[in-house]
Amino acid sequence: MPRIASVLLPMPLPEAFDYAEPEGLDLAIGDHVTVPLGPRVIRGVVTGLRDGTGGNRPLKPVLERVDDPPLPPGVLSFVEWAARYSVDVPGWPLAMALRGLRHPAAKPDKALVLTGAQPARMTPARLKVLAAAEEGPMASGALAAAAGVSAGVVKGMVDEGVLAVTWVEPDTRFPQPDLSRPPQTLNPSQQASADVLSEMLAAGGFQAALLDGVTGSGKTEVYLEAAAAALAADPDSQVLILLPEIALTQAVLARFEARFGVAPVEWHSAVSPPRRRRAWEGVAAGQARIVVGARSALFLPFRKLRLVVVDEEHDGSFKQEEGFIYQARDLAVARAKIEGALVVLASATPSLESLWNAQAGRYRWLRLSARHGAAQLPDIGLIDMRETPPEPGRWLSPPLVKAVSVALSRGEQSLLFLNRRGYAPLVLCRACGEKMKSPDTDSWLVEHRYTGRLVCHLTGFSMKKPEACPHCGAKDSLTSIGPGVERVEEEARHLFPDARIAVFSSDTVFDAAGARALVDSMAAGEIDILVATQAAAKGHNFPNLTLVGVVDADLSLRGGDLRAGERTFQLLAQAAGRAGRHEKPGRALLQTYAPEHGVLQALKAQDRDAFVEAEMAMRQEAGLPPFGRLAAVIASGPDPVALEAYCNALAAATPNAEGVEVFGPADAPLALVRGRRRKRFLVRAERSVDLQGFLAAWRARAKVPNSVRVVFDVDPYSFL
DNA sequence: AGCACGCCGACT
DNA sequence: GTCGGCGTGCTC
């Protein structure tokens, strides 16, 4: 009976294509093959085999099997799962899974072996060569060096037929971890956590744990012992440690080497293609047993993955925002589930999602107690705006202004954080009290002075700021109420005319390059005061930053960007880490009208549990993650008219679904990227809703015109 | 993603 | 009169 092979190709095709299996090829699932696709020949992977022929339409045949290590079944399931989760084609995650194979396999090396023939004349030098050659095949240079003779001696023996050329496979094996090394000394808290992880490993099957402990509590030692346990339990088991790309430093790798006697296998963007090939093959062969990598290491072809650790699991860089969009922390859990492995999420400031899972008992919650002398949060002060208010029409209170000027006088940097774009969040008429609102929602229009417009951040509606009140007709009566970053910048320039001041928001920074440039400039000390909505997003490290002023702490607690509060907390925790290491102590000042509020008290008291509880309550009330689910749909294109038309069509095609709300289209966070205008929809769904199903149905309903590109982003992280 | 087929401007 | 621009549509 002839067979049909389903072949998945690393391309944006909606599904695997069927090909006829040629007689005698005897394919297996996971095999790499080449297949004809239209006029060309493409590499793909066999994902299914079944009896049959093409039927009415004859199938093209698989051309040949490619001699690369087959993809293990877990990877194929994972690829499929990841595609559905991300509402994207399976070809993209497959392409990620094949990323180690772009470089050709290592070719065999030339080596010399003894033929058994005796040399016509024996010399001391030749004797030494014979002895050295006993060790096995060796390259001629290495043989001469081993024997301590010149290359001429070796060449003479080859000419005489005493040595012959053979080809040997290059030794691409990785050295094995030394599991006989003594474990590290752990404190009781660490030991208890390590013991629990060992028990979980011993129990086997998919399980998840949250390893939760402040900086300095020794999370790394704990998961290193878990790794040792996983490796020792089974000689074929493999361990994957995921780290944020920036954390993959030599110092971190050295800790692994110190524990296991060998360097771990590295996998990140800076690894060269030949090394990637080697790592990929080592992982596929089950021979690379400890892999330390960035998020894309998740797609490696592990055969017997027993432990996955996501260190700094709260870190925003685990969210891949371009190309194939995914959240590596979430996919790590999925991969572990597929492989029946233990997944450990580790952080000093866990994401609310993970804490929620821990609270619900889905993740085993391991809390490490702080070590003596561990870094504390920075000195956090609350400024009661009722007691020390700013001057009318100003937003920086006297204590904060003083702190900034002290930092300036010491040559240190300040960050003024206000999570609000534009100049003023509200414009109203002094004469009649009318608030300027968006026509189709009830939300306030935000004044932008850079552009002179009033903008609705939810729907994208915008209008020129009118001269007269549209309601009562009074002239020059429109007043800007409240601060945005533009207004705080204006005030800072007024207060500190000589300081170097920059603004970081999506209105001043349009693309990744701009963001990079501004962050670098800040890190290099070229900015004294950074007014920012966004800079805290990805945990940048500014060594000379000693003052963080939160202009409106109440705002970041009220919502807007759902992770604002979390990031504020993480920012402060990060400043704390520095305060412990530098001679300059970090300091945070939070301006608030409600210093008695639970979240602020929790921050001031450095009580994370109280902070989390309050934050959870707010998310729950707003139906935001983890209590509800979010997705963004971003459409972009060079032609604003075509883009607008497509967005309208997409809006009209919104499937009807219970428990799902769709907002937009509005201008996207980065409204202009490389000449392409961007629009965004936001989708909010209840947890019970099949969000991916909804999005897939929606995506299928509107044909995308050529000039427009659409991206579906499940669980988005960028909001500004 | 590639690559072909398909209809409208400046050139050996 | 042709060569070629890249718009759109398909690839088992």
CATH label of the domain that carries residue A62: 3.40.1440.60
Give me the domain span that covers residue A640: 628-714
Residue A425 in any domain: the answer is: no
Residue A41 in any domain: the answer is: yes
Taking the CA of residue A39 and the C1' sugar atom of nucleotide B3, their distance in angstroms comes to: 7
C-alpha A224/C-alpha A227 separation (Å) is 5
A13 Cβ contacts chain B strand, under 7 Å = yes
Residue A446 in any domain: the answer is: no
Q: Are residues A611 and A632 in the same domain?
A: no
Q: Are residues A637 and A498 in the same domain?
A: no
Higher pLDDT, A559 or A301: A301
C-alpha A713/C-alpha A670 separation (Å) is 15
Residue A176 in any domain: the answer is: no
In this predicted structure, the answer to whether residue A658 has a pLDDT above a threshold of 70 is yes
Q: Is A647 annotated as a binding residue?
A: no
Least confident of A201-210, A556-565, A707-716: A556-565
Q: Are residues A194 and A341 in the same domain?
A: yes
Q: Are residues A661 and A606 in the same domain?
A: no
Residue A466 in any domain: the answer is: no
Cα distances (angstroms) measured from residue A74 to each of A49, A65, A67, A83, A335: 17, 20, 20, 14, 8
Q: Which one-letter DSSP state was computed for residue A508?
A: T
- Strand C nucleotides, any atom under 7 Å from protein beta carbons: they are 7-8, 10-12
Q: Are residues A594 and A633 in the same domain?
A: no
Residues A87, A695 contacting (CB under 8 angstroms):
yes
- Position A371 scores a pLDDT of 60
CATH label of the domain that carries residue A686: 3.30.70.600
A130-144 pLDDT per residue, tens:
888 888 888 888 888
Question: If pLDDT is split at 50, 70 and 90, which confidence band does A578 have?
Answer: very low
Q: Is A469 annotated as a binding residue?
A: yes
What are the backbone dihedrals phi and psi of residue A517, each rounded to the nearest 5 degrees, phi first?
Answer: -60, -45
* Tokens found for residue A698: 């929606």
Total structural domains within chain A: 5
Question: If pLDDT is split at 50, 70 and 90, which confidence band does A535 have?
Answer: low
In this predicted structure, the answer to whether residue A216 has a pLDDT above a threshold of 80 is no
What mean pLDDT comes out for the span A577-594?
67
What mean pLDDT comes out for the span A157-169?
86
Residue A461 in any domain: the answer is: no
Apex A650 CA angle, A645 and A654, nearest 5: 150
Containing A517, the helix (H) or strand (E) segment is helix A512-523
Q: Which residue type, as a one-letter code, is found at position A291?
A: V
Higher pLDDT, A571 or A381: A381
In this predicted structure, the answer to whether residue A672 has a pLDDT above a threshold of 80 is no
Query: Which residue among A42, A68, A97 closes a domain?
Result: A97
Rg (CA), chain A: 31
Q: Which nucleotide is nearest to A11 (CA to C1')?
A: B1
Residue A426 in any domain: the answer is: no
Higher pLDDT, A150 or A332: A332
Nearest-CA neighbor of A366 among A243, A186, A234, A244? Answer: A186
Strands A40-51 and A32-37: antiparallel
- Give the rounded distance of the alpha carbon of A452 from its chain centre: 36
Nearest-CA neighbor of A69 among A24, A111, A32? Answer: A32
In this predicted structure, the answer to whether residue A257 has a pLDDT above a threshold of 70 is yes
Residues A348, A215 contacting (CB under 8 angstroms):
yes
Residue A24 in any domain: the answer is: yes
SS3 A702: coil
Query: Which residue among A589, A616, A643 closes a domain?
Result: A616
* Tokens found for residue A494: 């007024």
* Tokens found for residue A54: 């093409």
Q: Are residues A81 and A212 in the same domain?
A: no
- Position A571 scores a pLDDT of 64
Q: Are residues A269 and A349 in the same domain?
A: yes
Q: Is A456 annotated as a binding residue?
A: yes
Residues A386, A208 contacting (CB under 8 angstroms):
no
Q: Are residues A152 and A195 in the same domain?
A: no
A12 Cβ contacts chain B strand, under 7 Å = yes
CATH label of the domain that carries residue A397: 3.40.50.300
What are the backbone dihedrals phi and psi of residue A417, each rounded to the nearest 5 degrees, phi first?
Answer: -105, 120
Q: Which nucleotide is nearest to A7 (CA to C1')?
A: C12
Nearest-CA neighbor of A255 among A230, A225, A296, A281? Answer: A225
DSSP for A444-493, please give it. BPEEETTTTEEE-TTT--EEEPPSB-TTT--BT-EEEES--HHHHHHHHH
Helix and strand numbers (H, E) in chain A are 20, 31
Nearest-CA neighbor of A547 among A421, A406, A420, A419? Answer: A406
Q: Are residues A50 and A134 in the same domain?
A: no
Mean model confidence pLDDT for chain A: 88
Residues A115, A162 contacting (CB under 8 angstroms):
yes
Q: Are residues A86 and A126 in the same domain?
A: no
Q: Are residues A22 and A161 in the same domain?
A: no
Q: Which residue is nearest to nucleotide B4 (CA to C1')?
A: A39
Question: If pLDDT is split at 50, 70 and 90, which confidence band does A540 have?
Answer: low
In this predicted structure, the answer to whether residue A84 has a pLDDT above a threshold of 50 is yes
Higher pLDDT, A672 or A86: A86
* Tokens found for residue A417: 């954080």
CB atoms within 10 A of CB A449: 17
Q: Are residues A144 and A36 in the same domain?
A: no
C-alpha A600/C-alpha A490 separation (Å) is 27
- Position A606 scores a pLDDT of 78
- Position A575 scores a pLDDT of 52
Report the predicted TM-score, pTM, of the whole model to 2 decimal places. Answer: 0.79
Query: Which residue among A586, A616, A646 closes a domain?
Result: A616
C-alpha A2/C-alpha A414 separation (Å) is 71
- Position A579 scores a pLDDT of 42
Taking the CA of residue A176 and the C1' sugar atom of nucleotide B3, their distance in angstroms comes to: 47
Question: If pLDDT is split at 50, 70 and 90, which confidence band does A581 have?
Answer: very low
- Position A442 scores a pLDDT of 58
C-alpha A667/C-alpha A218 separation (Å) is 44
A392 Cβ contacts chain B strand, under 7 Å = no
